[in-house]
Structure 1
Amino acid sequence: MLPAVRAPSSVHRAPRVVLAGGLRVPNRIQLQKSSAKRCYPVPWCYKTSISCSIAKAETLQAVQSTIAKQLSIEDSTVAPQTKFADLGADSLDTVEIMMALEEQFGVSIGEGGAENIVTVQDAADLIEKVKAETN
């Protein structure tokens, strides 16, 4: 039988690399314990979560501020990974948020653009993508 192996539950940082077209390789890879009880022969299983954001820090900050304002909540409660549902936003709130973001950034997302928006980071990435396509 193989000896038990435990992977550390931590964030590993690597240098950020910018690829052609402005895409950036994420600088964090996070290992998290899986909900599975046991993976043979390793007693703890880990899943890898990779976050790849394309939004600039200024865009993300503006999106966070707009979302907080639209939902009448504190800015500090709106983090990039926060889901709209966790902020208490329903589908109508999400539509209103996207309309406010369109107006703020002077872009048109379109009807189907907001369908895949789940988190604050998703919204910021979509805004950045639409801005890049129009330029």
Structure 2
Amino acid sequence: MAMAAARRALLTHLRIPVARPAAAAAAAAAGTVPVAARRLLSSTTEETKGSFLDKGEVADRVVSVVKNFQKVEPAKVTPTAHFQKDLGLDSLDTVEIVMAFEEEFGFEIPDNETEKIDSIKSAVDFIASHPQAK
């Protein structure tokens, strides 16, 4: 995290456009961007590529959140459990679990995606593919 903050401060100071990586990459290829700036730009894109969470880690954390939910019997929780069919939760309970996922992973899940999350598997798939999940 400290490295990302330092990189951001340096890029702001050098006034290198970070918001347009395609244009910056073209400038780097043309040789108009200093070598140090090229290194910073390439490490920024590498950091972005690697920012998604490991699916196994996400699955463990999702299962843990569901097991800790008050209305769920922990013995029934499996990686493939459906919230309504297997765990007996209603739609309001599902919304509460999704809110617990938001708190656990540190990002807001849009309402249109909340409706699609109806099982542990669908929650893991969505969270593991989301770049803001922590």
What's the TM-score, normalizing by structure 2? 0.53
- Structure 1 pair 134/94, CA: closer, same or farther in 2 (3 Å)? closer
Letter in 1 for 2:92: L
Q: In 1, Cα distance between the equivalents of 2:133 and 2:54?
A: 15
Name the structure 1 match of 2:78: 79
Letter in 2 for 1:68: K
Contact 1:59 1:128 in 2 (8 A): yes
Residues 11-90 of structure 1 mapped to structure 2, 5 A cutoff: 56-85=55-84, 86-90=86-90
Letter in 2 for 1:116: K
Contact 2:107 2:132 in 1 (8 A): no
Name the structure 2 match of 1:110: 110
Q: Which has the higher helix share?
A: 2
Letter in 1 for 2:67: A
What's the TM-score, normalizing by structure 1? 0.53
- Structure 1 pair 134/63, CA: closer, same or farther in 2 (3 Å)? closer
- Structure 1 pair 96/134, CA: closer, same or farther in 2 (3 Å)? closer
- Structure 1 pair 134/92, CA: closer, same or farther in 2 (3 Å)? closer
Q: In 1, Cα distance between the equivalents of 2:126 and 2:76?
A: 21
Identity of aligned residues (%): 39
Name the structure 2 match of 1:15: none
Give 1:108 shift.
1.1
- Structure 1 pair 103/97, CA: closer, same or farther in 2 (3 Å)? same
Residue ranges of structure 2 left out of the alignment (5+ in a row): 1-48
Q: Which has the higher strand share?
A: 1
Question: Which of structures 1 and 2 has the bigger CA Rg?
Answer: 2
- Secondary structure (helix, strand or coil) at the match of 1:87 reads coil
The runs of at least 4 consecutive aligned structure 1 residues that moved more than 6 Å come to none
Q: Report the aligned-residue RMSD.
A: 2.4
Q: What is the aligned length?
A: 83
Residue ranges of structure 1 left out of the alignment (5+ in a row): 1-20, 23-53
Larger relative contact order (C-alpha < 8 A, sep ≥ 6)? 2
Give CA-to-partner distance per residue, 1:14-73, whole Å, 9 cap, x none.
Answer: xxxxxxx89xxxxxxxxxxxxxxxxxxxxxxxxxxxxxxx96111101101101111443
Letter in 1 for 2:57: E
